[in-house]
Amino acid sequence: VADTSIIWTDKVWNPTTGCDRVGPGCDRCYALTMAKRLKGMGSAKYQTDGDPRTSGPGFGVAVHEDALTIPLRTKKPQRWFVNSMSDLFHPRVPAEFIARVFAVMAQTPHHTYQILTKRAPRMRHLIGRPGDGGDQLLATTTDEATARALYDAEWPLPNVWLGVSVEDQQRADERIPLLVETDAAVRWVSAEPLLGPVDMTRWLGKETVVGMTTTADGWENIDGPGIVWLVAGGESGRGFRPLDLDWARSLRNQCQGADVPFLFKQVGGPTPKSGGRLLDGREWSEYPVTPDPKEV
Ligand code: SF4
């Protein structure tokens, strides 16, 4: 699988593979389709560093210890999409393994990591709220090196973008509030495959309530950045559910109103390229402004 097939990232890092469906956005899951295809071709030859792997007889969740060292061994700064073939916060990925993934990201500040989940409650639970400083994750690990890396890290990890995938208003309402409550340097949303109109204006932009804190006078809101990057796109593949361009237009307008960068990935169709990338006659390829990656 060519890493470049996802336009908004440089490389794919798959420390876990395997998943199962959790909402209508999963109906034509690329990872499940690809797993089936790889299995048909004999998965063994795909079991090399960084390549998607299938595991077991179906698409069971598997963790890949050997993949953990890949970013550590990659000196050139890269933007990595974490888990194109899985969901890092799937209930069958042990919390201790998630802690190890975060420890690797903490130890490689020259890379940027883009994480997307549909399991926002577990992400919120394990990563904690703004100000928690990674304590929940630390509590899951008995491994000394992992604990040290998490303990020494700056929280939230500046090089980790945490995001949720949403396909419709219901999933936006369920997942985005949990993301906004989760400690993260950059919060983003992938609305792909977009299956209906979504209003996410209340979570977009730099000034959003991200939490509460106690003060001498009682409770006070913690203000911070909400969603600072939105990617949207239509579905592709056999039996794709067509995108109504007005849904994408509305999201773009919401972003413009909140000064949030917007990336339109694809219209969709029988193949990812079928419908092209134009929305109202132009491409939309904006990215969040983030600090320069640190040297290691
Ligand atoms: S959560 Fe993602 S990887 Fe898992 S089944 Fe759904 S679309 Fe596929």
Rounded CA-CA distance 197/212 in Å is 30
* pLDDT band (50, 70, 90) for residue 57: very low
Residue 63 has pLDDT above 80, yes or no: yes
Nearest CA among 204, 241, 253 for reference residue 226: 204
pLDDT in tens, 94-131: 999 999 999 999 999 999 999 999 999 999 999 999 88
> What is the distance between the alpha carbons of residues 190 and 167, in angstroms, rounded to a whole number?
8
Angstrom distance (rounded) from CA 265 to CA 278: 9
Say if residue 183's pLDDT is above 50. yes
User: Does residue 118 line the site of ligand 1, with CB under 6 A?
Assistant: yes
Q: Which helix (H) or strand (E) holds 187?
A: strand 186-191
Pick from 61, 118, 166 the residue to mutate for probing ligand 1's pocket: most ligand atoms within 8 Å of its CB: 118
Distance, in Å, from the CA atom of 141 to the CA atom of 217, rounded to the nearest integer, reads 36
pLDDT band at 41; cut points 50, 70, 90: low
Mean pLDDT for the chain overall: 89
| Whether pLDDT at 51 is above 50 | no
Residue 295 has pLDDT above 60, yes or no: yes
Q: What is the 120 CA–ligand 1 centroid distance (Å)?
A: 13
pLDDT tens, position by position, 219-237: 877 776 799 999 999 999 9
Which residue's CA is minimally distant from atom 4 of ligand 1? 19
H/E stretch holding 212 reads: strand 208-215
- Which atom of ligand 1 approaches the CA of 86 most closely? 3
pLDDT(250) > 70: yes
Tell whether the model's pLDDT for residue 195 goes beyond 50: yes
- State what percent of residues in the chain have pLDDT above 90: 74
**For residues 84 and 12, is the Cβ–Cβ distance under 8 A?**
yes
Report which of 50, 46, 58 is spatially closest to residue 4, judged by C-alpha positions.
Answer: 50
Nearest Cα to Cα of residue 270 among 232, 236, 242, 234? 236
